[in-house]
Amino acid sequence: MNRKTFLKKGVISSGLLLSAPTILISQDRSVITKEEIREFVFAAHKDFDQVKKIVEEKPLILNCTNQRIRGDFETAVGGASHMGLKNIADLLVGKGARLDIFNYAFLGYTDFVIKLITDHPSLLNSPGPHGFNLLHHAKVGDNKDLEEWLMEKGLTVTHFKGVFG
C-alpha cells in the first residue's frame, strides 16, 4: 500500500470513528414518561407477557422507578418481588435489572442478606416498597432459613404501616 492510499484510508476510518459517538448519541433521547413507568411497574405486579413486551420495546425502562406516593419508590423487579412473582423477577434480572436487599431476600440470597444486616443492622427495619419489609419478601420467596433468622433478630411483622404517609 502506498503512502497516499494509506493516508486516504486513515482519514476515512478516523472520520467514521469520530462520527460513531455522535450517531449513537443522536438516537431517540425522549424521556420515558411517568405514565409509561407506572404502566411498566404495575404490569410487573401481575402480567408476565406485558412486562416482556414493554421491556423489549423500551429496554431503558428496566430500572426506572415509580413513585406511588411521596417517598414510596418502586421498580418493576421490586413489584414482582413483593408479589412473589419469580417468573417476572427472573425475566427482569435476566435483562439486567438492578437488585436491592428486598429482591435478594425474595430470590433466596440468604447469606448475602444476613451479611448486609450483620454489617448494617439498621437494614433489618428498612421499609421496602409500600412498607413491605424483609420478612415479607423472605416469606413470599419461600426462603424459610432467612425468614427464621429475621424473626430471631426481632422482625415479627411483614409490613410497616404508615411509613409513607
Query: Which residue type sits at 8?
Result: K
Residues 130 and 42 sit within 8 Å (Cβ to Cβ): no
Statement: residue 112 has pLDDT above 90: yes
Coil, helix or strand for 16?
helix
* Residue 147 cell numbers, joined: 425468614
Which residues, 6 or more positions from 90, have their beta carbon under 8 angstroms from its beta carbon?
Answer: none
* Residue 142 cell numbers, joined: 419461600
**The predicted structure's pLDDT at residue 138:** 98
**The predicted structure's pLDDT at residue 80:** 98
**The predicted structure's pLDDT at residue 29:** 72
Average pLDDT over residues 27-55: 93
- Please name each of the domains of the chain with its CATH number: 34-152 (1.25.40)
The tens digit of pLDDT for each residue in 127-159 reads 999 999 999 999 999 999 999 999 999 999 999
